[in-house]
Structure 1
Amino acid sequence: MIAPADAQPLIRLRGITKVYGEGALAFQALKGVDLDIDSGDFVAIMGPSGSGKSTAMNTLGCLDRPSTGEYLFQGVHVESLSRDERARLRRRYFGFVFQGFNLLARTSAQENVELPLLYRGEAARARHAAAARALDAVGLKGWEHHTPAELSGGQQQRVAIARAIVTEPAVLLADEPTGNLDTHRSLEIMELIWRLNQEHGITVIMVTHEADMAAYARRIVRFVDGVVDSDIPNPHPAGLHAAAAAATEPH
């Protein structure tokens, strides 16, 4: 659910800039970005190559630090945190899904999903239970012991999503999550992400260049030349149509 208008947003960017390099070689990827994202929102970030959308995503996910400006997460000034503090924030509150599935090839789905919990130092029994729940949530119950080579592209991305949500993050950051999938599998993955947003309340921020995928979001934010060019609500997300169609199918 979207937060009330007078509530503090989960994420607030104000005047965010990002400059790579120095002097004559300096390149300004972000040029003063203002953006609010409420808890439970689903935002698609779009824009042409070089528009700053990926840099914005890296900044939002605490993978990169802005050059200037304010980044508040739950009221905390992220831009003032040390590298270690940003890493702790990232591990606690963020899950990541990438275009490349980034799964360990010789490792089972269960073990791939457990990795973030292993890094946290969770006990084996807790890891196994959490990974089983996450795989069940993405429709892969019964596939726990299969390696990536034994899974389709869509199933591999489901494993990657399970790995992203196994820590129960507040925010799911998805960077071109359907970029390596055919149309049918892409729609399956988008419906899954939409359900995670709707049913689990996970805030979703997704970078995509595909309008059909962005149609699942509640807001479409377009970057051009390092700034937010438009921020348009989507009152009829595609996930609503898919859910309505599924509800009317005969059982």
Structure 2
Amino acid sequence: MSQPFIQFQNLNKIYGQGNTQFHALHDVNLSINQGDFVAIMGPSGSGKSTTMNILGCLDVPTSGAYIFDGVHVENLSRDQRALLRRHYLGFVFQGFNLLARTSAQENVELPLLYRGMGAEERHTEAKKALALVGLAGWEKNTPAELSGGQQQRVAIARAIVTHPTVLLADEPTGNLDTARSKEIMELLVQLNQERNITVLMVTHEPDMAEYAKRTIHFIDGQVGEDITFQKDKGN
């Protein structure tokens, strides 16, 4: 049997020292296969955000192992973790995080600019990514000229333009109405199914979690429940 693509082994995260010490994660063990679509849920302070930060190489565990495609991430340097983020991970946030005065295409090109890609290739790849999320023809529009749902589509295009293996989405529908939320979730399902992108999504909304193949519920820094559905949601 092949090894899981992502693993936490007895992973702990402790913030602070002495009387101010806070144990955010307690001996967490979890495995995620390539192509999974996982909704990570739990109340405030349960450990889900800490888990996402470690998965995204934005933080490191205090002890235990984080294994990504066979690599022990906890042993990597800061620069090595940055390279892993740049080449394997895409990020989507609740607040979109788009540059206000730049066009949709320029926003999507940013990760490619950081990689040192030439202008012509950047333009081509950004247009492809925008078309993939249904925004062909909107390349020159700024965020102020786009709806909330369109802005989140630009953010998703920016996240996938580098062809990441894993997409980490933090409350991706939190600022959207019901109809736009459904559109974004259906887009994430499409990316997961058609491009085999592993999607790891934090959400407070049970109806959004139903689009995932699996839900992991955190409680008090530990995995309280891990449910895999028998068929894909959102179809």
Partner of 1:38: 33
Identity between Structure 1 and Structure 2 (%): 69
Total equivalences in the alignment: 235
| 1:224 aligned to which of 208, 219, 231 | 219
Tell me how far 1:223 sits from its aligned partner.
0.2
Tell me how far 1:156 sits from its aligned partner.
0.1
Provide the C-alpha distance between the structure 2 equivalents of 1:80 and 1:105, rounded to a whole number of angstroms: 37
Given that residues 171 and 202 in structure 2 are in contact (C-alpha distance below 8 angstroms), is that contact kept between their aligned partners in structure 1? yes
Provide the C-alpha distance between the structure 1 equivalents of 2:185 and 2:220, rounded to a whole number of angstroms: 27
TM-score, normalised on structure 1? 0.93
Q: Are 2:22 and 1:27 aligned?
A: yes
Letter of the structure 1 residue corresponding to residue 5 of structure 2: L
Partner of 2:232: 237
Q: Are 2:180 and 1:185 aligned?
A: yes
Provide the C-alpha distance between the structure 1 equivalents of 2:163 and 2:153, rounded to a whole number of angstroms: 15
TM superposition outliers: structure 1 runs of 4+ over 6 Å: none
| 2:88 aligned to which of 68, 72, 93 | 93
Letter of the structure 2 residue corresponding to residue 128 of structure 1: H
Secondary structure at the residue paired with 2:217?
strand
Provide the C-alpha distance between the structure 2 equivalents of 1:153 and 1:32, rounded to a whole number of angstroms: 39
Provide the C-alpha distance between the structure 1 equivalents of 2:194 and 2:96, rounded to a whole number of angstroms: 24
| 2:102 aligned to which of 79, 89, 107 | 107
Provide the C-alpha distance between the structure 2 equivalents of 1:97 and 1:194, rounded to a whole number of angstroms: 14
Point out where structure 2 has 5 or more consecutive residues left out of the alignment.
none
Provide the C-alpha distance between the structure 2 equivalents of 1:228 and 1:126, rounded to a whole number of angstroms: 43
Given that residues 90 and 160 in structure 2 are in contact (C-alpha distance below 8 angstroms), is that contact kept between their aligned partners in structure 1? yes
| 1:61 aligned to which of 41, 52, 56 | 56
Letter of the structure 1 residue corresponding to residue 65 of structure 2: E
Provide the C-alpha distance between the structure 2 equivalents of 1:236 and 1:73, rounded to a whole number of angstroms: 26
Partner of 1:248: none
Cα distance per residue 1:163-220 (max 9 Å; x no partner): 0000000000000000000001000000000000001110000000100000000000
Aligned 1:65-214 pairs, distance under 5 A: 65-214=60-209
Provide the C-alpha distance between the structure 1 equivalents of 2:97 and 2:87, rounded to a whole number of angstroms: 20
Provide the C-alpha distance between the structure 2 equivalents of 1:23 and 1:122, rounded to a whole number of angstroms: 47
Letter of the structure 2 residue corresponding to residue 41 of structure 1: D
Tell me how far 1:238 sits from its aligned partner.
2.8
Letter of the structure 2 residue corresponding to residue 135 of structure 1: L
Letter of the structure 1 residue corresponding to residue 147 of structure 2: S
Provide the C-alpha distance between the structure 1 equivalents of 2:27 and 2:221, rounded to a whole number of angstroms: 8
- Pairwise CA RMSD: 0.6
Cα distance per residue 1:140-169 (max 9 Å; x no partner): 000000000000000000000000000000
Letter of the structure 2 residue corresponding to residue 179 of structure 1: G
Point out where structure 1 has 5 or more consecutive residues left out of the alignment.
1-5, 241-251
Letter of the structure 1 residue corresponding to residue 161 of structure 2: V
* Larger deviation, residues 71-80 vs 231-240: 231-240
Provide the C-alpha distance between the structure 2 equivalents of 1:176 and 1:62, rounded to a whole number of angstroms: 18
Secondary structure at the residue paired with 1:14?
strand
Given that residues 52 and 227 in structure 1 are in contact (C-alpha distance below 8 angstroms), is that contact kept between their aligned partners in structure 2? yes
Tell me how far 1:52 sits from its aligned partner.
0.3
